[in-house]
């Protein structure tokens, strides 16, 4: 079995890795570290001793990119102090901006999401005035044979990428352009990775894809494995290993997946189901391929089969042409769906997307901000109400670490993905404990061990 933790070796040259964006990027950084460890590097958390500095970047909204431009300016200072340092920009921003990143004269390496295997070669070939770039997208690359080197702190919960890319064409979204077409990973490599994580002490795996419901593996002999079968295969490894997944697409989440979740105690009852908007006019323009009514039907089905299932979402405020009525439709859908939590954003136009080409970004900035604030305020209330409904209930919680509130308290998550804080009582990260929720905020269930 390969090392799944960073190698400690003072004699090796050091790589420093910063990660922006989604869970998939966090896992990609672990793939990158694996490739670079094989090439002789060791990880450092101290940028000052790194000979290679990497930023694994995100393009989803303009502010995500602006943060990285700010970091590139800081990397310039490192290079002024130590001229031999190499700087690499990898991930979605590398794919989107390509050689524009080289204009900064700070960046030596540009590598897109499908070219991480070539990183050692890119590093070797860098020369003064000869930066290196690989932004080829692939139809096959899933890094299936690479064992990610885990950079999490607690050794309890790990990401496993089950697919890459995205074949949807949501009109606002840059991801299909930066991550390419959808491809699924061989399920045997997924199960093997999950089993190795269990053996290394992990107790939770989070299966990642842009749209997990369209996971589909076709074997050479014509056999196929879909997402619900994959879920079963991973759930059957051990009742001690919890299974989570994200992200589901409302147009694709099937009854089969919902029933499979209900059948296995160790598949966590939580679905992240991004709705984006409650207005049919907006959903149509966003090319989401479902309606408000369809979305609420899916929520009804989930609640019917699993009344205790956690439901979270993503919402975009101020998409092109959004009227006050469209906005009110989003608020009313939030109430009807009674989300437990949400990620909420202002629309940010991404160059090259369908929306950028077809629709003016015409909701004024102050209106976007006001609508987002209303959405956030409503979600705070919904989250608090959801937590209040859980008071007095008991939950099986997987301990993840020591609470930020107090060194004598631990935190962990319920299957429905709520964070619980409770007295340590000798428990440790990786233990399962039963707790009762006794009080709450909008973000946390304050609990006692039962
Ligand atoms: N502007 C704002 N939010 C966006 N998202 C995706 N693209 C954009 C954009 N252009 C949000 C969606 C998605 C989440 C990952 O990011 O809500 O579900
Ligand atoms: Fe992840 Fe999307 Fe950001 Fe790429 S653009 S890092 S896929 S969130």
Ligand nearest to the CA of 25: 2
The rounded Å distance from CA 91 to ligand 2 centre is 8
143 Cβ partners below 8 Å, 6+ apart? 31, 116, 117, 161
CB atoms near residue 293 (< 10 Å)? 9
Q: Is residue 61 lining ligand 1, measured as CB closer than 6 Å?
A: yes
- For residue 227 and ligand 1, the question of a CB distance below 6 A is answered with no
CA-nearest residue for atom 3, ligand 2, is 58
pLDDT of amino acid 405: 87
Q: What is the DSSP letter of 276?
A: B
SS (H, E, C) 287-310: CCCCCHHHHHHHHHHHHHHCCCCE
Spatial CA neighbour of 30 closest among 145, 148, 130 = 148
Asked if the domains at 152-268 and 281-286+296-389 fall in one CATH topology, the answer is: yes
102-152 pLDDT per residue, tens: 999 999 999 999 999 999 999 999 998 999 999 999 999 999 999 999 999
Say which residues have a Cβ less than 8 Å from residue 139's Cβ, sequence separation at least 6.
180, 181, 183
pLDDT for residue 345: 98
Q: What is the pLDDT of residue 2?
A: 74
* CA 56 / ligand 2 centre spacing (Å): 10
pLDDT at 1: 63
Q: What is the DSSP letter of 17?
A: E
How remote is the CA of residue 277 from the centroid of ligand 1, in Å?
11
Give 372's DSSP letter.
H
CATH code given to domain 394-449: 2.40.50.140
- Structural domain spans, the chain: 14-134, 152-268, 281-286+296-389, 394-449
CATH architecture, range 14-134 = 3-Layer(aba) Sandwich (3.40)
Yes or no: say if 55 and 137 are a contact pair by the CB < 8 Å rule. no
* Third-level CATH fold of 152-268: Transcription Regulator spoIIAA (3.30.750)
- For 414, the token pair is 């319920």
Per residue in 232-265, pLDDT (tens digit) is 999 999 999 999 999 999 999 999 999 999 999 9
Q: Which SS3 state, helix, strand or coil, does residue 267 take?
A: strand
- How far does the centroid of ligand 1 lie from the alpha carbon of residue 136, in Å? 24
Report the candidate in 154, 110, 127, 120 with the shortest Cα–Cα distance to residue 37: 120
Q: Which mutation among 91, 161, 316 tests ligand 2's pocket best, with the greatest number of atoms within 8 A of CB?
A: 91
Instruction: Check if 312 has its Cβ closer than 6 Å to any atom of ligand 1.
Output: no
pTM over 0.75: yes
Residue numbers in the chain where pLDDT is lower than 70: 1
We find that the CATH architecture of domain 281-286+296-389 is: 2-Layer Sandwich (3.30)
Average pLDDT, the chain: 97
The predicted pLDDT at position 3 comes to 82
């Amino acid at each position: 079995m390969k090392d799944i933790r960073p190698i400690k070796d003072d004699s090796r040259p050091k790589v420093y890795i910063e990660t922006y964006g989604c869970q998939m990027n966090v896992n990609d950084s672990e793939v990158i570290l694996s490739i670079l460890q094989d090439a002789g590097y060791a990880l450092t958390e101290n940028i000052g001793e790194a000979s290679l500095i990497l930023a694994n970047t995100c393009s989803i909204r303009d502010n995500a990119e602006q943060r990285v431009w700010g970091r590139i300016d800081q990397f310039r200072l490192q290079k002024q102090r130590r001229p031999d340092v190499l700087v690499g920009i990898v991930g979605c921003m590398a794919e989107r901006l390509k050689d524009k990143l080289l204009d900064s004269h700070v960046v030596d390496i540009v590598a897109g999401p499908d070219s991480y295997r070539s990183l050692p070669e890119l590093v070797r070939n860098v020369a003064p005035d000869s930066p290196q770039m690989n932004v080829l997208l692939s139809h096959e690359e899933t890094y299936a044979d690479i064992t990610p080197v885990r950079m999490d702190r607690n050794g309890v919960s790990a990401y496993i990428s089950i697919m890459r890319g995205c074949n949807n064409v949501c009109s606002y979204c840059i991801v299909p352009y930066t991550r390419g077409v959808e491809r699924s990973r061989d399920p045997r490599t997924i199960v093997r990775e999950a089993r190795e994580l269990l053996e290394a002490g992990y107790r939770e795996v989070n299966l990642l894809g842009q749209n997990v419901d369209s996971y589909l593996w076709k074997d050479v002999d014509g056999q196929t494995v879909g997402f619900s079968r994959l879920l079963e295969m991973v759930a059957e490894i051990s009742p001690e290993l919890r299974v989570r997944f994200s992200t589901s697409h409302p147009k694709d989440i099937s009854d089969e997946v919902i029933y499979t979740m209900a059948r296995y105690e160790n598949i966590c009852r939580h679905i992240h189901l991004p709705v984006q908007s409650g207005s049919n006019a907006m959903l149509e323009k966003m090319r989401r391929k479902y309606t408000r009514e369809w979305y609420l039907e899916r929520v009804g089905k989930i609640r019917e089969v699993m009344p205790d299932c956690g439901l979270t979402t993503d919402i975009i405020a101020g998409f092109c042409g959004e009227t006050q009525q469209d906005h009110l439709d989003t608020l009313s859908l939030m109430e009807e769906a009674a989300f437990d939590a949400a990620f909420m954003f202002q629309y940010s136009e991404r160059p090259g997307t369908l929306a950028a080409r077809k629709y003016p970004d015409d909701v004024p900035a102050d209106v976007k901000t006001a609508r987002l604030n209303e959405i956030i305020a409503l979600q705070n209330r919904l989250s608090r109400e959801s937590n209040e409904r859980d008071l007095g209930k008991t939950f099986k919680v997987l301990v993840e670490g020591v609470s930020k509130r107090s060194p004598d308290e631990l935190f962990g998550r319920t299957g429905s993905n709520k964070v619980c804080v409770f007295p340590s009582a000798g428990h440790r990260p990786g233990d399962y404990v039963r707790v009762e929720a006794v009080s709450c905020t909008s973000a946390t269930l304050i609990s006692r061990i039962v």
